[in-house]
Amino acid sequence: MNIKTISESQEIIQDNLDYTIFSWSKQKGIAPIAVKYAEGIYLYDYDGKRYIDFSSGLMNVNIGHGNQRVTEAVVKQMQEVSYVSPSCVTKVRGELGKKLAEICPGDLKKAFFTLCGASSVDNGIKLARLYTGRHKILTRYQSYHGASIGSVSAGGDPRKIPVDAQQAPNFVHFDLPYLYRWEYGEENLLKEAVASLERVIAYEGPGNIAAILLEGESGSSGCLKYPVGYLKKVREICNKHGILLIMDEVMSGFGRTGKWFGFEHHDILPDMIVMAKGLTAGYLPFGCLMVSDKIIAKYDDAMLPLGLTYSAHPVTCAAALEVLKIYEDNNLIENAAAMGKYLDTQIEKLKQKHPSIGDWRNTGLLGCIELVKNKTAKEPMAPFNAKPNEMAVMNKVAAKIKELGMYTFVRWSYLFIAPPLCVTKEQIDEGLAIISEAISIADKETEHG
């Protein structure tokens, strides 16, 4: 008798492949990691293989995996009450609002709780239009703001191109080049970036523009840093024209960049902050739109036309409140800043060793290596919005990373490094050793290979 046994892990993967749908991916011929459990900065599969998580899941598990304080807070809340309608209140909702008001600067004191990043962006856009009575939203081409119809239209990321025909109206994008691929000097970059934004505003009619929406620090577009002084100029331009400034801190918030929020590196104050990911460190899906007192005051005596069945869900509020305490109790934000500096010095050494490392852009622990075929000509290892056949080398690099026991995010010629904020120097060394070995594959494709 020929009995074919399949391992537990194969069975789990097969069920997932047969009965579930994978986002941003082809559906067949993929080999996902079946995660059994996770602890700190490591994932473990059913065969006992360990993976160092160098992208904190999707840059959200900032406190690290498996923190039982969050589990206990969630269980305790569920034992008391799991759901109340958003018109009722709970202790935890008020406490979380108060804590966020403490963390956020200026008059950003009122929290509208949502479900995820996209629903926070959507509500921010709605509120900006309601408040200003204007309809247009300006965003950077090189940005991602979510996948709902509203937020996907807001982002300029090419993930929107296949659904182009479904775009919502009244989003206008502008280009903001980055230093590594700008030939005319840093000072000139700032000048041109500001001038081109001003031109777009003039063409579109400043009186029609409700808000400029920008990531606090660029994330999945490749950590493309703002020119120094740029966000201050944007704030001035917004003030001049009565345009609101919304900072999307979904990826860059909650210590990821070594400060609570990415925009705090730029000495500005937005009118609204969009939050998700690190708010609960991914332990439960949640989001928040933090709104300035000035904006929300408009609704002191008028109905606010925003709502969600699961707004201020007590269980997600409990997870978030505990996660915020963990950031503070474990000094995670200070650690992110310190480990970010260490990472910078170590990558500098790798740059000397690897002809394929073109650029390294990082703030705290939100970093990205850009791989090139030639350091002088800067030809990317894979082009912007690379087609599958243009990803041959990068796919080999990604496969090697996985084989060597690392999980991280590889996109086009970008290799992201964004470990949980509890990472240690030793763990950074461990991860970089894997990356160094994997990148050797790309080195062979360079002129020195």
Q: Which residues bind ligand PLP (CB under 6 A)?
A: 58, 116-118, 121, 144-146, 215, 219-220, 248, 250-251, 276
Q: How near is the Cβ of 166 to ligand PLP at its closest, in Å?
A: 17
Helices (H), 205-331: 230-241, 293-296, 314-329
- 187 in the Ramachandran plot: left (φ > 0), alpha (ψ -120 to 50) or beta? alpha
Residue closest to ligand PLP when measured from CB atoms: 117
DSSP 402-444: HHTTEE--EETTEEEE---TT--HHHHHHHHHHHHHHHHHHHT
Question: At residue 331, what is the residue type?
Answer: N
Q: How near is the Cβ of 116 to ligand PLP at its closest, in Å?
A: 3
Residue 132 CA from chain centroid, whole number: 27
Nearer Cβ to ligand PLP, position 279 or 343?
Answer: 279
Nearer Cβ to ligand PLP, position 13 or 230?
Answer: 230
Nearer Cβ to ligand PLP, position 90 or 120?
Answer: 120
Nearer Cβ to ligand PLP, position 209 or 275?
Answer: 275
Q: How near is the Cβ of 357 to ligand PLP at its closest, in Å?
A: 24
Nearer Cβ to ligand PLP, position 43 or 246?
Answer: 246
Q: How near is the Cβ of 248 to ligand PLP at its closest, in Å?
A: 5
Sheet holding 272-275, edge to edge: 108-114, 287-292, 272-275, 244-248, 209-215, 136-140, 171-174
The structure tokens listed for 95 are 């406490």
Q: How far apart are CA 348 and CA 304, in angstroms?
A: 51
What is the residue whose two structure tokens read 């005051």?
297
Strand partners, 23: none
Instruction: Output DSSP code: residue 28.
Output: S
Q: How near is the Cβ of 118 to ligand PLP at its closest, in Å?
A: 3
Q: How far apart are CA 243 and CA 232, in angstroms?
A: 14
Q: How near is the Cβ of 215 to ligand PLP at its closest, in Å?
A: 5
